Structure 1
């Protein structure tokens, strides 16, 4: 419709039609509804397909056969000799904060992590030591350096980032010229620098002596001529985890 001035008349909405459900709504083309899957089931199906694809990409880790029960007659020989091939020796370290001298020197205990909780080793920090220096014993009460149960010690550098485990043999300065009776290095532990724990749990690198064909440990001594890569084993470190208690 056109008015007298030649302008098209706009269609006015009736007040009543503004409150009607279908009042003056633009015409829309009706869409044919096909067979649709319910939204919940569609989402579930997509999730299932996604999970199945992700699962197929995850490598399946082969489960190792459980280790046989660990039994021994001589405790000193057991803690110093390498573990048998195919046997996993799992242990647990606990700390007694009371220790000695009103808790200034706590005591640490190592037990087999099994049902019997068999005691293996104990250790404490030495007095008047400028660096971390721990005595290791096979007796939970006798932790003296001159005792018959003393089997080794652990010493660190000044920064507390590098540790070395020795047996109970003589210091190189007091040993024979050929170093046959000098102490052996049983392990080396190197911590990665982690100021204030900003990088999460501390990561470590552990280096242990290699093995001979007869299953014996390769002797590693200070100033030894045997210092090749074949004389040591460097296990691949795994990602550390935190147990929140």
Structure 2
């Protein structure tokens, strides 16, 4: 058995360690968002929340998207990150309101870009994504979602419908005081280049990926 490892018009105070610095309109191919920029004083990271429509406080559709340069910017098929970001932005616009919190400092599940590339090189040699991180002496997942919870609180959000397949994101938000009313699957059809990676995420990281069943059974 495999081992399983607010209000946009007001500037927020610094009491939580996260300071709202700027609001700017951001027209995109998906629709017109408001880009709300934050400074995380605890870690020094600059963060951004893309807000669409009038949020309200309860059952807000959100995505906590971990930074992934290779997937988000370069269209890498090693992962499904770019497609998930695209789907989340489209879903928020279709909903009429919602937030995509883009979490910088989360590259490679928190190990950084160069370490992620080293891990990818090891995966090309046959290790899975968990084994590769451990072989480098790095944590399997070093991400922290406290800043995301504080950003949501600053935006006046009390409960969310979370677009994610990762149960740890739900657990983290709840631990930080944000109610998760629903976890909304964000399932991207796999391709030849990422099917092994996705299987590992399901089998060793507990991601809910039921759409892989058909692929697994036919392979």
Same fold (TM over 0.5): no
Q: Considering only CA atoms, is the larger Rg found in Structure 1 or Structure 2?
A: 1
RCO higher in 1 or 2 (8 Å CA, sep ≥ 6)? 2
Q: Give the alignment's TM-score, normalised by structure 1.
A: 0.26
Q: Give the alignment's TM-score, normalised by structure 2.
A: 0.28
Q: Say which structure is richer in helix.
A: 2
